[in-house]
Amino acid sequence: MSSTSAPTHQDSERAWSFPMRGEDHFTWSYGSGRESLLNLYQKGKDKQWDSSRRVDWSLEVDPCDALGTPEHTLGLYGSRQYGKLSAEGKRELRRHMAAWEFSQFLHGEQGAMICSARIVESVPDLDSKFYASTQVMDEARHVELFSRFVEEKIGLSYPISPHLKALLGETLNGSDWDLPYLGMQVLIEGLALAAFGILRDRTTKPLPKQLLSYIMQDEARHVAFGRLALRDHYKNLSSRELAEREDFVIEGCHLMRDRLRMQEVWENLGFDMKECMEYMNHGPRMRAFRSLLFTRIVPCVKDIGLWSPRIRQAYDDMGVLDLAGADLVKLMESDELRAEALDAERREMEARRGEVHEAIALARETATDGR
């Protein structure tokens, strides 16, 4: 993507590739499937949408205040490094933080597109292939949305973070068909959903609110897909196989937690790295933010059956074990309703604008007739 003043990195200059592992599965059983997954497939078809039409791209965005969030919510706020910045320096910091955050969303969505395509190839069941095929289209739309937002509205991009890259590599490089589900649908998508939700609820700007709300409506279906498919599959795995998946989850959660520290931003702006990283690791805002980001992951891991004492201890050490009781179904239903409410609000505003234009036109006609 072309951007102005974009940080340079070798990964942004060339494609990332590695050999594919695992097997492609064909099935000749066309007449049956799990009702829950087939219903989700139908919903995936019904809920397709065009990003160029549903999103109002005419809305202006200030690149140095893309989200309009309060100053005190910024991760570095309150640190000595932040206190040294001028007003202009703080605006530039906001631009870089938004660029980094939305760039990681963009890279993650491309990873989701590739993972869902891999699921179509490798999953043995036709009902799962059906749904995953709708997700490929969803993820392509999300890549389109975030790419356009980063390029046209912020004008600055960042390469993929090392931690996200590592988890994507582990997810795509496994030989078992369920690992793209586990890495993408549960871990990466689960964390993304929570991050999208936090920003959607905090932003005062209409364009990012639209993007995040509409993408979350899709992502709620994706997480539901992963839960349904993996819950069935993991009931039949041996203790050794389950332990391997638990290792993957624990390592993946550590990578997801560590990717939030934005070290690439501090490096690019020439900040004191030691001070910034210390504050991002232990500062009060980031501790609270990290906990919120696991709201979708922890109950999903429990729901699919990976809930050994080792997993519980890992989450307890991370300070997120109490999130296991979150109601995923209600959270996803809320995501759906928020997007639909936003659509209804926009339709109402458009109808009112239409009425105003009609009234103005009628007034002009009356004035003309009266002369």
Where do the domains of the chain lie, and which CATH numbers do they carry?
A: 35-370 (1.10.620.20)
- pLDDT tens-place string over residues 4-37: 444 544 445 567 776 666 677 787 777 777 788 8
Mean pLDDT in the chain? 86
Most confident of 45-49, 111-115, 151-155, 253-257: 151-155
HSE (side-chain half, CA atoms, 13 Å) at 315: 24
Tokens at residue 302, please? 């429990």
Instruction: Please state whether the predicted TM-score (pTM) of the whole model is above 0.95.
Output: no
> Alpha-carbon distance 334 to 216, whole Å?
10
Which DSSP letter does residue 182 get? I
**Which residues contact residue 80 at a Cβ distance below 8 angstroms, ignoring those fewer than 6 apart?**
275
For residues 313-328, one letter each, b for 16 or more C-beta atoms within 10 angstroms of the residue's C-beta and e for the rest, the string is: ebbeebebbebbebeb
Burial class (CB in 10 A: 0-12, 13-18, 19+), 339: buried
Provide mean pLDDT across the span 218-238. 87
Query: Nearest-CA neighbor of 101 among 138, 69, 79?
Result: 69
Burial class (CB in 10 A: 0-12, 13-18, 19+), 143: buried
Q: How confident is the model at residue 40 (pLDDT cuts 50, 70, 90)?
A: confident
At residue 158, the 3 state secondary structure works out as: coil
Q: Please state, in angstroms and as integers, the Cα–Cα distance from residue 278 to each residue in 108, 158, 268, following that order.
A: 26, 22, 17
- pLDDT tens-place string over residues 121-170: 888 888 888 889 999 999 999 999 999 999 999 999 999 999 899 888 88
pLDDT at 215 over 60: yes
> Alpha-carbon distance 308 to 188, whole Å?
21
Tokens at residue 116, please? 């869902």
Q: How confident is the model at residue 257 (pLDDT cuts 50, 70, 90)?
A: confident
> Alpha-carbon distance 156 to 103, whole Å?
9
Give the sign of the dihedral formed by CA 149, CA 151, CA 154, CA 157.
Answer: positive
| 296 neighbors 231 (Cβ within 8 angstroms) | no
| 247 neighbors 50 (Cβ within 8 angstroms) | no
